[in-house]
Amino acid sequence: MNTLSLAIRQIKYENLAFWRNPVSAFFTFIFPLMFLAIFNLLFGNREFEVPGGVTHTSTFYVPSIIALSVTSACYTNVAMSMTFSRDQGLLKRIRGSPLPVWAFLFGRITTMLMVTILLVTIVATAGVVFYGVDLPGKTFPAFAFTLLIGSATFCILGIAITSVIPNAQAAPAVVNASILPLLFVSDVFIPMNDAPSWLISFTQIFPVKPFTSALHTAFNPFETGLGFEFTDIGVLVLWAVIGTLIAIRFFSWEPRQ
């Protein structure tokens, strides 16, 4: 078989493996819906006028929940699963098989991108049906492009972070310590309008804040442009390059002592 056929088969395998763990799959999809309900309970869902009609405050919750969903599926899940596979010796056996390295990583990343698309579809549909969320119109290309770049970036960073995780038991601590503080200071859980200016500037360096900001712009019903935040997208691309270089240099296929 040629390498492209092997990559496609790997996508099928990764997808099958994901859905054969129903508990993990269930909570991957129920987690953002829980946050959508919690946000509406805590902050309300008021109506207000926008150019051309009426919208609800839930429209502004959805980008944050999507950002949370992407970081959870593409960063946390990838980092955890790769670390456990490494410690169980699965990566070592894959490395010794005829499967090309790029095909294996392509299958893992593509599967998470597919999961992300399904996650976003479920969250957006629930928002429209239950909370009157307005989906982006002319800014949809910007939203889709930002989502694609952000998902790929966090998948790459999830692979890269495994280089500093010593073993599977340490994976939850390292991964959560590297992402949870950023989620709290990046307009995901709470607005940062009253935060110190130095903190706001500091968060712009890391990928979560630019990703969240770009999603908010693309979902904003008051946006008059096309919704592209090229500066934020550039930061995400830069982090994807950094993550790729780290993974190439330090990624380990064998269990660590």
pLDDT at site 145: 96
Return the SS3 of 49: strand
Query: pTM score, two decimals?
Result: 0.91
Q: How far apart are CA 208 and CA 133, in angstroms?
A: 23
pLDDT per position in the chain (257 positions), as tens?
688 888 889 999 999 988 888 888 888 888 889 988 998 888 888 877 666 666 778 888 899 999 999 999 899 999 999 999 999 999 999 988 888 888 999 999 999 999 999 999 999 999 889 888 888 888 999 999 999 999 999 999 999 999 999 999 999 999 999 999 999 888 888 777 778 888 888 899 999 999 999 999 998 888 888 999 999 999 999 999 999 999 999 999 998 76
Alpha-carbon distance 65 to 244, whole Å? 26
First to last CA, the chain: 36
Whether 256 is covered by a domain: the verdict is no
Specify the DSSP class assigned to residue 207: S
Work out how many domains the chain is built from and give that number. 1
CA dist 58 to 33, 215, 225, 239, Å? 12, 14, 21, 30
Any domain includes 257: no
Range of the domain at 64: 3-250
pLDDT of residue 147: 94
Confirm whether 109 is domain-assigned.
yes
The answer to whether position 255 is within a domain reads no
Residue 44, domain member (yes or no)? yes
pLDDT at 23: 82
The rounded distance, in Å, linking the Cα atoms of 152 and 108 is: 11
Does residue 216 lie in a domain region?
yes
